[in-house]
């Protein structure tokens, strides 16, 4: 438990004034500022071997959870996701720290918000400003440890395969990896086939392994995957065409993930986390892809955990973030809490699921939701205020932000206009509500955003040169990184 002095110190580091703190506490809220060591809930050694358990992260780029059957999609897009959810802990209200890849994945690997880790732009933004083949790219601060570096210190062998050019050596994602292979824009079957050649090597290691696999299939450009793509006689609109193609990409990915799980046969010896970096817009607010917006369809992400001895078949309704993945993994493997970051370990949810499963098993095999009032969850994991940021990359654009709290979302536009949405009445964010009718929520969420703005952006991240060929620029164009409208 944090002492009052520690709490005030952490708040001050984010620029949260005593007046703002008083307002939050009077509303019954404790703003979550950083992760802390907590009791170890789960065993991290395999019985009789002394070998630590493996950790796998499957990054599903641009996967919008509500288009999958794991999150109750209407269309039958993903039977494997649906089956996997029944043996997983599913976080129903997970959100990213951004709406594009580089900042979100940097949060996954550091536990920080983008203004704190400094990776606020991807390769496409830097490419636009380049006058020749040399591009200046924001890269991780040398003294900011990544998840892979923590795991190396804990005795893990670390392997990865990335299919997105934003997750590679230029920004510094190779740090801590024994092997990170970049297969830019490779398809899921190519990823599965490639890592199948690593299986014997990894499973025969004397030490546990960490494996990161980055899948790009739901990302633009969408392909019309047979047999899932439905060819109608009637002409589809551009948005309907995109949505149908996107669903077929999810179905294709779903099939390949089923193949991956069958090949590797992960069990209690391996914790597998499925997470997306951001969502995708499919006409919800007039656009397709993940352009310059911060609405819920872009900010909400998939987050599921399975294997590793976890009790399955539970859904968590509390707000959690992509920045929580790193401290969760570190606590699960028995490592000390990270040196810095705003993420929190989600292991208390894992423990709660296990306790509930021991007490009550659903006879029909359906999932049980952990009700916040009944679960023994620490106060710092309740009533969280989670933020998101996206850098404006045009001269006429300012940055945009989102604040998530309860069933409310506050968005700040590039012109600093703030609007509030009530998801209890409007889950698709069609009409913002009057701040006068939600004055306390509007002020509270605004105060949290003001604290982030007051803290500003880190000067620790480095700008360093990298060479970018015409082929590199063509790939960014193919992936839709040609504008930010």
Give the C-alpha distances (Å, rounded to integers) separating 106 from 172, 173, 323: 10, 8, 9
Q: What is the pLDDT of residue 136?
A: 78
- pLDDT recorded at residue 408: 96
Q: What is the pLDDT of residue 463?
A: 87
CATH architecture under which domain 41-378+466-478 falls = 3-Layer(aba) Sandwich (3.40)
pLDDT of residue 33: 47
pLDDT computed for residue 43 by the predictor: 37
Q: Which residues of the chain have pLDDT under 70?
A: 1-51, 123-133, 233-235, 290, 312, 352-375, 394-396, 467-485
CB 271 within 8 A of CB 304: no
Question: What pLDDT score does 220 carry?
Answer: 84
Task: Give me the numbers of helices (H) and strands (E) for the chain, helices first please.
Answer: 15, 18
* Residue with the two structure tokens 């917006």: 293
Which pLDDT score is estimated for 41?
A: 33
At 466 the pLDDT is 74
What pLDDT is attached to residue 394?
Answer: 62
Report the pLDDT value the prediction gives residue 195, as an integer from 0 to 100.
Answer: 98
Q: Output the pTM of the full model.
A: 0.86
pLDDT tens-digit readout, 411-428:
999 899 999 999 999 999
Q: Is 15 left (phi over 0), alpha (psi -120 to 50) or beta?
A: left
pLDDT at 469 (0 to 100): 65
Q: Which of 203-215 are b and which e, b meaning 16 or more Cβ less than 10 Å from the residue's Cβ?
A: eeeeebbbbbbbb
| Integer Cα distance of 348 and 343 in angstroms | 14
Sign, Cα dihedral of 238, 244, 250, 252: negative
> Would you list the domain boundaries of the chain?
41-378+466-478
pLDDT value, residue 431: 94
User: Apex CA 187: angle with CA 157 and CA 183, to 5°?
Assistant: 50
Q: Which residues contact 394 (CB under 8 A, 6 or more apart)?
A: 484
């Amino acid at each position: 438990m944090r002492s009052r002095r520690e709490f005030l110190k952490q708040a001050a580091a984010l620029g949260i004034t005593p007046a703002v703190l008083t307002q939050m506490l009077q509303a019954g809220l404790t703003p979550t500022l950083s992760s802390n060591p907590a009791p170890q809930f789960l065993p991290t050694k395999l019985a009789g071997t002394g070998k630590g358990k493996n950790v796998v992260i499957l990054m599903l780029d641009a996967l919008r959870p509500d288009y999958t059957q794991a999150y109750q999609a209407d269309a039958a897009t993903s039977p494997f996701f649906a089956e996997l959810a029944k043996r997983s802990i599913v976080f129903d209200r997970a959100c990213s720290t951004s709406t594009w890849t580089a900042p979100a994945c940097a949060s996954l690997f550091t536990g920080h918000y983008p203004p704190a880790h400094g990776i606020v732009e991807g390769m496409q933004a830097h490419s636009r400003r380049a006058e020749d083949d040399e591009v200046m790219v924001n890269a991780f601060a040398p003294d900011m440890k990544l998840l892979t570096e923590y795991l190396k210190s804990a005795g893990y062998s670390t392997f990865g395969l990335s299919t997105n050019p934003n997750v590679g050596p230029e920004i510094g994602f190779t740090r801590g990896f024994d092997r990170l292979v970049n297969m830019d824009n490779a398809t899921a079957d190519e990823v599965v086939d490639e890592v199948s050649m690593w299986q014997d090597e990894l499973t025969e290691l004397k030490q546990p392994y960490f494996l990161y696999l980055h899948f790009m299939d739901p990302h633009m450009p969408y392909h019309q995957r047979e047999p899932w793509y439905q060819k109608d006689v009637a002409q589809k609109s551009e948005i309907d065409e995109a949505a149908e193609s996107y669903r077929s990409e999810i179905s294709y990915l779903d099939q390949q993930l089923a193949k991956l799980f069958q090949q590797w046969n992960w069990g209690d010896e391996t914790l597998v986390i499925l997470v997306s970096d951001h969502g995708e817009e499919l006409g919800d607010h007039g656009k397709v892809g993940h352009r310059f917006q911060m609405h819920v369809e872009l900010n909400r992400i998939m987050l599921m955990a399975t294997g590793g001895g976890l009790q399955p078949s539970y859904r968590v309704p509390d707000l959690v973030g992509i920045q929580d993945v790193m401290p969760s993994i570190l606590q699960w493997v028995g490592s000390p809490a990270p040196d810095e970051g705003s993420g929190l370990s989600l292991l208390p949810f894992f423990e709660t699921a296990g306790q509930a499963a021991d007490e009550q098993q659903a006879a029909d095999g359906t999932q049980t939701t952990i009700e916040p009032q009944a679960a023994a969850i620490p106060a710092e994991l309740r009533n969280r205020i989670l933020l998101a940021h996206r850098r404006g990359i045009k001269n006429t654009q300012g940055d945009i932000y989102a604040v998530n709290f309860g069933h409310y979302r506050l968005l700040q536009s590039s012109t600093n206009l703030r609007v509030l949405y009530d998801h209890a009445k409007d889950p698709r964010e069609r009409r913002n509500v009057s701040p006068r009718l939600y004055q306390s929520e509007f002020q509270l969420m605004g105060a949290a955003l003001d604290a982030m703005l007051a803290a500003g952006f880190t000067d620790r991240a480095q700008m360093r040169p990298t060479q970018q060929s015409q082929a590199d620029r063509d790939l960014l164009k193919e992936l839709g990184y040609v504008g930010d409208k």
